[in-house]
Amino acid sequence: MTQDEIIKIAREADWPDSLVAPIIMAKLSDFAKLVAVKEQDRCCSIVFAQCESDNVAQRTVDAIRGKA
């Protein structure tokens, strides 16, 4: 997720402009990246649990992680 996307979401959540300052957005961007990785890991573990073929699961996981 880009910083511009994070700013857009912050504004959609009615954050005041004072909280959309560059230093806060930089930290929020770091936080959003950590959340995204955690969500990817969760999705990937579900894929491996549900797929009968490890090959299909790996291709799906690679797509989720943007490696495909």
> Into how many domains does the chain fold?
1
**What whole-number distance in Å separates Cα of residue 54 and Cα of residue 61?**
10
pLDDT (0 to 100) of residue 38? 93
Q: Which tens digits make up the pLDDT trace of 10-61?
A: 889 898 888 778 888 888 888 888 998 999 999 998 888 888 888 888 889 8
**What whole-number distance in Å separates Cα of residue 60 and Cα of residue 68?**
8
**Domain, as residue range, for 11:** 3-64
pLDDT (0 to 100) of residue 68? 64
